[in-house]
Amino acid sequence: MKHIIILITGLILTACVSTPRDNFYEDVYKPRYKRIAIEEPAQVEQKSPAPEPTIEIVRISITNPIYQGIEFLDYTEKEDRSELKELTGVDPVRIEWCAAFANAILEKSGIPSNKDHKYPLTARAFLDWGVSVDKPMMGDIVVFPRGSQGWQGHVGFYVKEQTIDGVLYYYILGGNQKNSVRVDLYRADKAIGIRRSKLINQ
């Protein structure tokens, strides 16, 4: 009986010995060791449970620029160069294209664009477009300063707002935001114009 126990013990130990293809330490022992260490009360920092994520459902008309603009989210000027060139009519690698993107999205939404302006590819040209409003609604055009020259700027579409540390920010959907189509935060007090088309249905 003693020999049988020794034999069985030997077989068990042999089965646990690592072979070149056996990742027991990496796959089993090491991860379990890490979990045990993390779960030790002395090493765990007590935190309040994270709030459950909420889903925000927003209904907008297909004539709202946001509806058309989100189709191009995450398009980049290099990886999607041909698609953006076809959409905007300009080469996004060579031309500052935020105004061209805004014009293209307005036209896709069935809203008159700013292409007839003397300077249709400049963001500040949108200060002459539509009507001026004080409080933005989803789909409104917002113009911001950019660069060191007085004619430079950035233009995009207002999505919503959020106050962070007492500062009001606008979520702006636009082209040429970090060389792509994105939604980014911009300080509301930096806006130099909020413009609206009468054709936008909220």
Task: Flag whether 56 is in a domain.
Answer: no
pLDDT at 61: 80
- Report percent pLDDT > 90 for the chain: 63
Same domain, 69 and 154: yes
Is the same domain home to 82 and 170? Answer: yes
Give yes or no: residues 90 and 26 share one domain: no
Look at residue 151 in the predicted model and tell me its pLDDT. 79
Query: Kind and range of the H or E element at 187?
Result: strand 180-187
Is the pLDDT higher at 22 or at 97? 97
Structural domains in the chain (count): 2
pLDDT for residue 200: 53
**Helix, strand, or coil (residue 169):** strand
Segments forming the whole domain that contains residue 113:
65-196
Is residue 64 within 8 A of residue 202, CB to CB? The reply is yes
123, 157, 115: which is closest to 140 by C-alpha?
Answer: 157
Is pTM beyond 0.75 here? Answer: no
Q: What is the CATH number of the domain that holds 73?
A: 3.90.1720
Per-residue pLDDT of 17-71, as tens digits, reads 434 444 444 444 344 333 333 344 455 555 666 666 665 666 778 889 999 999 9
User: Residue range 160-169: average pLDDT?
Assistant: 97
Q: Are residues 19 and 88 in the same domain?
A: no
Task: Clarify whether residues 26 and 75 are in a common domain.
Answer: no
Residue 7 covered by a domain: yes
Q: Cα(23)–Cα(166) distance, rounded to whole angstroms?
A: 52
Whether pLDDT at 12 is above 70: no
Evaluate whether residue 50 is within a structural domain: no
Verify that 184 and 84 share a domain, yes or no: yes
Does residue 32 share a domain with residue 110? no
25 vs 86, residue with greater confidence: 86
Rounded Cα gap, residues 111 and 198, in angstroms: 9
Within this chain, do residues 102 and 173 fall inside the same structural domain, yes or no?
A: yes
Strands (E), 91-166: 131-132, 141-145, 153-164
Amino acid making up residue 83? E
Pairing of strands 167-177, 153-164: antiparallel
- State how far the Cα of 98 lies from the Cα of 154, in Å rounded to an integer: 6
